[in-house]
Amino acid sequence: MLSKQQQKWTYLSIFTFYALLQLYSIFNHQLFGDEAFYWLESQHLAWSYTELPAWTQWMIALSEFFFPRHPFFIRLPSLLAALSLPWLSMLIAHTIKPESHPSWKTGLLTLALPLLALAGILAIPDIWVVFFALLAVLFWLLAIQQMKNKWFFALGLTLALGINVHLRFWLIVFIAAVSFIWQFRHHQTLVKRLLLITLPVAALGFLPIVWFNVQHNFPMLAFQLSDRHPWQFQSSHFTFFVVQVLVTTPLVFTLSAATVFSKQRNNQIIASLVYLALFHWLTYAVVGFFSDNLRFNIHWTLFSYVLLLIIASVNTEQFKRLQQWAAYTGALCSLLTLMTFIYWLQPNTPVSTYNQQLTENSRGWQELALKTKDLSIKYATHLVVADNFMTLAELKFYLPESGQLTALSHPLNIKHGRQVQLDIMQYTQEKTTNKKLLVVEHNALKLEQTLPFYLQACDTLNGIKLIDTLDYAEGIKSFYFFETGHGACQLPPITYIENSAAQISGWVLTNKHSLIEVRAEPNSNPIKLTEKDIRNNPLFKGLDPNKYHLNEFSFDNQSSDEIKQLAIKLNGLMIQSQRLEGN
């Protein structure tokens, strides 16, 4: 086992490298789609918002008040909170076990969670949930040990602030309240101060949320507790348990699990913290079988791991070797995760499937803004309509001098609970006959959503006409640009592709008078297309079969080294470079 001095310099070295990587990332990378929308909401300050409470937006607004508009400053408050976590964990460890101070091992274990490293470089609520939860644990420990009213008040204030971060923090508060009051039910003075000081102060945190939701018919509760969840059994959630082991790294997960069953449970204070971490983790493990599995939610259990690792670090008698190897392997994985993320977002990095899944919403926005600006000038319009909340927010951020920007109703607005918020901020596009520029991220639409969306756009904007496209990073993003207000509805090509081991097949829906060309790149020969009628196909209900038809294609699959993507041209205009899945 390393000496205290060796642990100190190891921790400081890793923390410094860790912080430098995060600083580089927040300065150089474009805003993630959710970050951009939180920024947009921060431009319309409110007591709360329709998809979550307002703390993240308040911090972004505060940062922008003092600093220039830049992704670095938008993310800076969240990064500072993230960088404080190892030190806060060390302080908690010292409070639990004063003779352990300074607990460099605790700091190392806190750095050993790769998802914590990633969450720290984004201006999102997740890092604030962990920050306020750990801060509340610290004040709880001080309140127990010193029994001073100031710590009970500080605990209540911390809970009130955390309540304004996310509903996931409410779960922590509920579990902690039930667990702690039960554990210390015989300590009448402690329970009395919790009930008379802490809980009333914490309850104040609900006031801005309730005020906003009463005014707008409770959209946040409807989305977070109802709309986003299927509330029916999903067997796919069984993967949660495997994924948790992988994303925390196997040794860190093993150490966390071992801590739950450690002899330290004989200590009442430690037992209360273990129960908090355990029940928090189990809630997501169980409820996940019935709740939202569509989003990237594997990080929701982060607080449980941080708390268990703190408890593990103050145990100097058990799991010594496991603690050491968990700390070093986990910290190494955190650094590698940050470096991989940075590498993936470099402009010339080859795009893999995993790269695309994790980084696509942080790519292409500046390029889109420049293209939109050029087309606005070319077509002499300052009125721009975005397809959804994400495109709208990114354009607003990267085109600060832009004219009027609005957004259409879109499946993504509903999925992420942001349609009502767009209505409140008056960004929803109403029916109009004015000439505008419509910007659509075409591949953000599922096949069954594509046709209804474009028909709705035609109805709202008095017709659409495709005028240009932007294909980014080998088809990661395909943006279409339309001129509106002409009365005629000219649908863009709609593509479907099946990529099996034996062959590649699919179709392109186009106007019958269009010249369509499909090529398998990097091969140069056009693929033979077969025209097919759309009658009796429910997918194209509402389309005139005399105007539209399918252009079907099929050819033998070759090695992934030979065929990377399908290039589609319409009347000589490059429409789309469709990456073939798995390449």
Distance of alpha carbon 467 from alpha carbon 508, whole angstroms: 18
CA-CA distance, 495 to 445, in Å (whole number)?
Answer: 11
Both tokens of 81, joined, read 């909170």
pLDDT of residue 409: 94
Asked if 313 contacts 93 with a C-beta cutoff of 8 angstroms, the reply is yes
- Residue 543: the pLDDT is 86
- Cβ atoms within 10 A of the Cβ of 211, count? 12
Other C-beta atoms within 10 Å of 488: how many?
9
Q: Helix H segments across 97-230? A: 104-110, 114-119, 125-146, 149-163, 167-183, 188-193, 199-203, 206-215, 219-222
Reported as a single tens digit per residue, the pLDDT across 326-358 is: 999 999 999 999 999 999 888 777 777 677 777
Which residues, in sequence order, are bridge partners of residue 479? 441, 470
**Angle formed at CA 288 by CA 283 and CA 289, multiple of 5 degrees:** 120
Amino acid at 14: I
Place of tokens 């914590």: 116
Mean pLDDT of 34-63: 96
Task: Specify whether the CB–CB gap between 557 and 563 falls below 8 A.
Answer: yes
Residue 295: pLDDT band (50, 70, 90) is: low
**pLDDT, mean over the chain:** 89
Q: Mean pLDDT check: name the lowest of 70-79, 167-176, 225-234.
A: 225-234
Write the DSSP symbol of residue 408.
-
Query: At CB < 8 A and 24+ separation, what contacts does 332-336 make?
Result: 333/112, 333/114, 333/249, 334/18, 334/111, 334/112, 334/113, 334/114, 334/116, 334/117, 335/14, 335/17, 335/18, 335/21, 335/117, 336/114
The tens digit of pLDDT for each residue in 484-516 reads: 998 888 888 888 888 776 788 888 888 888 888
In this structure, what token pair is assigned to residue 509? 């829906």
218: left (phi over 0), alpha (psi -120 to 50) or beta: left
Give Cα separations from 456 to 179, 325, 445, 460 (angstroms): 51, 57, 13, 6
Shortest CA distance to 568 belongs to which of 546, 553, 581, 583? 553
Q: Which amino acid is at 429?
A: Q
**Omega before residue 102 within 30° of 0, cis:** yes
- How many Å apart are CA 250 and CA 260, to the nearest integer? 16
Find the range with the poorest average confidence among 4-13, 329-338, 373-382, 568-577.
568-577
d(CA 489, CA 268): 70
Q: What DSSP designation does 555 have?
A: E
Query: What is the pLDDT at residue 363?
Result: 85
Residue with the two structure tokens 């355990």 = 278
- Residue pair 313/94 in contact by the 8 Å Cβ criterion: no
Selection from 131-135, 256-260, 382-386, 495-499 with the highest mean pLDDT: 131-135
Task: Please report which confidence band the pLDDT of residue 199 belongs to, taking 50, 70 and 90 as the band edges.
Answer: very high
| pLDDT bucket at 2, cuts 50 / 70 / 90 | low
The residue to which tokens 């369509």 are assigned: 516
Task: Output the pLDDT for position 155.
Answer: 97
As a whole number of angstroms, the distance between CA 83 and CA 90 comes to: 12
Who's near 569: CB < 8 A, 6+ residues apart? 516, 517, 518, 519, 575
Helices 4-28/320-344 angle, 10° precision: 20
What is the mean pLDDT of the segment spanning 295-312?
Answer: 87
- pLDDT value of position 583: 44
Write out pLDDT tens, residues 119-160.
Answer: 999 999 999 999 999 999 999 999 999 999 999 999 999 999
The percent of residues in the chain predicted with pLDDT above 90, rounded, is 58
Residue 21, both tokens:
């990587």
Q: Cβ-count burial of 446 within 10 angstroms (0-12 exposed, 13-18 middle, 19+ buried)? A: exposed
Q: Which two tokens mark 116?
A: 């914590």
For range 174-191, the mean pLDDT: 88
Which residue is associated with the tokens 């001129």?
A: 483
**pLDDT at residue 560, rounded to an integer:** 45
The answer to whether 181 and 194 are in contact (CB under 8 A) is: yes
Q: How much is the average pLDDT of 349-374?
A: 83
In the sheet with 573-579, reading across from the earlier edge strand, the strands are 516-521, 565-570, 573-579
Q: What is the tally of helices (H) and strands (E) in the chain? A: 24, 12
What pairs with residue 507 in β-bridges? Answer: 496, 552
Give the pLDDT band (50/70/90) at residue 168.
Answer: very high
Q: Across residues 554-570, what is the average pLDDT?
A: 68
CA–CA separation, 241 and 362 (whole Å): 28
* Average pLDDT of the residues in 244-269: 87
Residue 102 has pLDDT above 70, yes or no: no
Instruction: Return the top range by mean pLDDT from 199-208, 347-356, 517-526.
Output: 199-208
State the virtual CA torsion across 139, 60, 46, 157 in degrees, nearest 10. Answer: 10
- DSSP assignment of 131-158 equals HHHHHHHHHHHHHHHH--HHHHHHHHHH
Say what the pLDDT of residue 133 is: 97
- What does the alpha-carbon distance between residue 195 and residue 139 come to, in Å, rounded to a whole number? 15
pLDDT (average), residues 158-176: 96
What is residue 579's predicted lDDT score, i.e. its pLDDT?
Answer: 61
**What span, in angstroms and rounded, lies between the C-alpha atoms of 373 and 395?**
10
- The token pair that represents 421 in the structure block: 């918020």
**CATH of span 493-583:** 2.60.40
Distance CA 22, CA 87 (A): 17
Mean pLDDT, rounded, for 104-115: 93
Q: How far apart are CA 477 and CA 442, in angstroms?
A: 8
Q: Return the minimum-mean-pLDDT range out of 10-14, 78-82, 273-277, 441-445.
A: 441-445
pLDDT greater than 90 at residue 437: yes
Q: Answer yes or no: are the C-beta atoms of 31 and 71 closer than 8 Å.
A: yes
If you ran DSSP here, which 8-state letter would residue 53 be given? B
Report residue 7's pLDDT band, with 50, 70 and 90 as the boundaries: confident
Residue type, 529: L
The confidence band for 75, taking pLDDT boundaries of 50, 70 and 90, is: very high
